[in-house]
Amino acid sequence: AERTLVLVKPDGVSRGLSGKILARVEAKGYRLIDLSLVSATREKLEAHYAEHVGKPFYEPLVEFMLSGPIVAAVFEGERVIEGFRSLAGATEPTTAAPGTIRGDFGRDWGLKVQQNLVHGSDSVESAEKEIGIWFS
Protein backbone atom coordinates (compact mmCIF):
# COMPACT_ATOMS: atom_id res chain seq x y z
CA ALA A 1 0.00 0.00 0.00
CA GLU A 2 1.08 3.61 -0.49
CA ARG A 3 3.03 5.30 2.30
CA THR A 4 3.79 8.89 3.18
CA LEU A 5 6.11 10.68 5.57
CA VAL A 6 4.40 13.13 7.91
CA LEU A 7 6.37 15.55 10.08
CA VAL A 8 4.86 17.54 12.91
CA LYS A 9 7.20 20.51 12.78
CA PRO A 10 8.66 22.19 15.91
CA ASP A 11 5.76 24.68 16.14
CA GLY A 12 3.24 21.83 16.27
CA VAL A 13 5.21 19.92 18.91
CA SER A 14 5.93 22.97 21.11
CA ARG A 15 2.28 24.06 20.98
CA GLY A 16 1.20 20.62 22.16
CA LEU A 17 -0.65 19.75 18.97
CA SER A 18 1.15 16.51 18.00
CA GLY A 19 -1.52 14.20 19.39
CA LYS A 20 -4.38 16.19 17.83
CA ILE A 21 -2.66 16.25 14.45
CA LEU A 22 -1.87 12.51 14.43
CA ALA A 23 -5.43 11.79 15.61
CA ARG A 24 -6.86 13.63 12.59
CA VAL A 25 -4.78 11.54 10.22
CA GLU A 26 -5.84 8.34 11.96
CA ALA A 27 -9.47 9.49 12.01
CA LYS A 28 -9.41 9.89 8.23
CA GLY A 29 -8.58 6.18 8.13
CA TYR A 30 -4.86 6.00 7.51
CA ARG A 31 -2.78 3.49 9.43
CA LEU A 32 0.12 4.66 11.59
CA ILE A 33 3.01 2.33 10.91
CA ASP A 34 6.02 4.15 12.37
CA LEU A 35 6.44 7.02 14.83
CA SER A 36 9.37 8.81 16.44
CA LEU A 37 10.27 12.01 18.31
CA VAL A 38 13.44 13.26 16.66
CA SER A 39 15.82 16.19 16.48
CA ALA A 40 16.61 17.38 12.98
CA THR A 41 20.18 18.00 11.86
CA ARG A 42 21.45 20.30 9.10
CA GLU A 43 22.45 17.20 7.16
CA LYS A 44 18.98 15.64 7.33
CA LEU A 45 17.32 18.96 6.42
CA GLU A 46 19.59 19.50 3.43
CA ALA A 47 18.59 16.08 2.10
CA HIS A 48 14.92 16.57 2.95
CA TYR A 49 14.68 20.09 1.48
CA ALA A 50 17.21 19.61 -1.37
CA GLU A 51 14.95 21.44 -3.87
CA HIS A 52 14.88 24.56 -1.65
CA VAL A 53 18.63 24.95 -0.97
CA GLY A 54 19.62 28.51 -1.94
CA LYS A 55 16.10 29.97 -1.82
CA PRO A 56 15.62 33.05 0.39
CA PHE A 57 13.54 31.13 2.92
CA TYR A 58 15.93 28.15 3.12
CA GLU A 59 18.11 29.34 6.02
CA PRO A 60 15.13 30.54 8.14
CA LEU A 61 13.44 27.20 7.35
CA VAL A 62 16.49 25.28 8.61
CA GLU A 63 16.72 27.42 11.79
CA PHE A 64 13.03 26.83 12.42
CA MET A 65 13.30 23.07 11.88
CA LEU A 66 16.28 22.96 14.29
CA SER A 67 14.45 24.97 16.97
CA GLY A 68 12.93 21.99 18.76
CA PRO A 69 11.90 18.36 18.49
CA ILE A 70 9.91 17.04 15.55
CA VAL A 71 7.48 14.14 15.36
CA ALA A 72 8.15 11.90 12.35
CA ALA A 73 5.45 9.45 11.32
CA VAL A 74 4.78 7.06 8.49
CA PHE A 75 1.17 6.56 7.45
CA GLU A 76 -0.14 3.98 5.03
CA GLY A 77 -3.28 3.70 2.91
CA GLU A 78 -4.82 4.04 -0.53
CA ARG A 79 -3.81 7.48 -1.96
CA VAL A 80 -2.43 8.55 1.44
CA ILE A 81 -0.02 11.07 -0.15
CA GLU A 82 -2.83 13.11 -1.71
CA GLY A 83 -5.10 12.43 1.24
CA PHE A 84 -2.68 13.80 3.79
CA ARG A 85 -1.85 16.89 1.71
CA SER A 86 -5.54 17.63 1.42
CA LEU A 87 -5.91 17.26 5.19
CA ALA A 88 -2.86 19.51 5.80
CA GLY A 89 -4.15 22.36 3.63
CA ALA A 90 -2.29 25.02 1.67
CA THR A 91 1.28 26.02 2.59
CA GLU A 92 0.28 29.43 3.97
CA PRO A 93 -1.57 28.84 7.23
CA THR A 94 -3.30 32.25 7.26
CA THR A 95 -5.31 31.40 4.16
CA ALA A 96 -5.35 27.58 4.33
CA ALA A 97 -8.95 26.38 4.25
CA PRO A 98 -10.72 25.99 7.59
CA GLY A 99 -11.14 22.30 8.33
CA THR A 100 -7.54 21.59 7.36
CA ILE A 101 -4.74 21.18 9.93
CA ARG A 102 -2.98 24.39 8.82
CA GLY A 103 -6.26 26.28 8.42
CA ASP A 104 -7.55 25.33 11.86
CA PHE A 105 -4.37 25.51 13.95
CA GLY A 106 -1.98 27.81 12.07
CA ARG A 107 -1.46 31.46 11.25
CA ASP A 108 1.23 33.85 10.11
CA TRP A 109 3.66 35.01 12.81
CA GLY A 110 5.38 37.69 10.72
CA LEU A 111 8.54 35.60 10.33
CA LYS A 112 10.65 34.78 7.30
CA VAL A 113 9.41 31.21 7.25
CA GLN A 114 5.91 29.78 7.15
CA GLN A 115 5.47 27.98 10.46
CA ASN A 116 2.81 25.71 9.12
CA LEU A 117 2.79 22.81 11.57
CA VAL A 118 3.20 19.84 9.25
CA HIS A 119 5.00 18.38 6.29
CA GLY A 120 3.72 15.65 4.00
CA SER A 121 5.53 13.97 1.10
CA ASP A 122 4.36 15.10 -2.35
CA SER A 123 4.99 11.95 -4.42
CA VAL A 124 5.76 8.26 -4.10
CA GLU A 125 9.43 8.99 -4.90
CA SER A 126 9.71 11.76 -2.27
CA ALA A 127 7.97 9.57 0.29
CA GLU A 128 10.48 6.78 -0.23
CA LYS A 129 13.40 9.21 -0.04
CA GLU A 130 12.04 11.05 3.03
CA ILE A 131 11.17 7.89 4.98
CA GLY A 132 14.82 6.88 4.46
CA ILE A 133 16.04 10.21 5.84
CA TRP A 134 13.94 10.24 9.02
CA PHE A 135 13.82 6.49 9.73
CA SER A 136 17.29 5.16 8.92
Binding residues for ATP: 9, 57, 85, 91, 102, 116
Q: Which of 103, 114, 127, 134 binds ligand ATP (CB under 6 A)?
A: 114
119 is catalytic: yes
**d(C-alpha 95, C-alpha 108), whole Å:** 9
Chain-centre distance for alpha carbon 44:
14
10 binds ligand ATP per the rule CB under 6 A: no
DSSP bridge partners of 4:
75
Question: Alpha-carbon Rg of the chain, whole angstroms?
Answer: 14
The tally of CA atoms less than 13 A away on the side-chain side of residue 40 is 25
Which candidate, 98, 96, 93, 97, places its Cα nearest to that of 117? 93
Contact set for ligand ATP, span 115-134 (CB under 6 A): 116, 119-120, 122
Q: How many CB atoms lie within 10 A of CB 89?
A: 23
List the catalytic residue out of 24, 44, 48, 119. Answer: 119
Q: How far is the CB of 83 from ligand ATP (least distance, A)?
A: 13
Site string for ligand ATP, 32-51 (x = CB under 6 A): --------------------
Active site residues: 119
Binding-site ranges for ligand ATP (CB under 6 A):
57, 61, 91, 113-114, 116, 119-120, 122
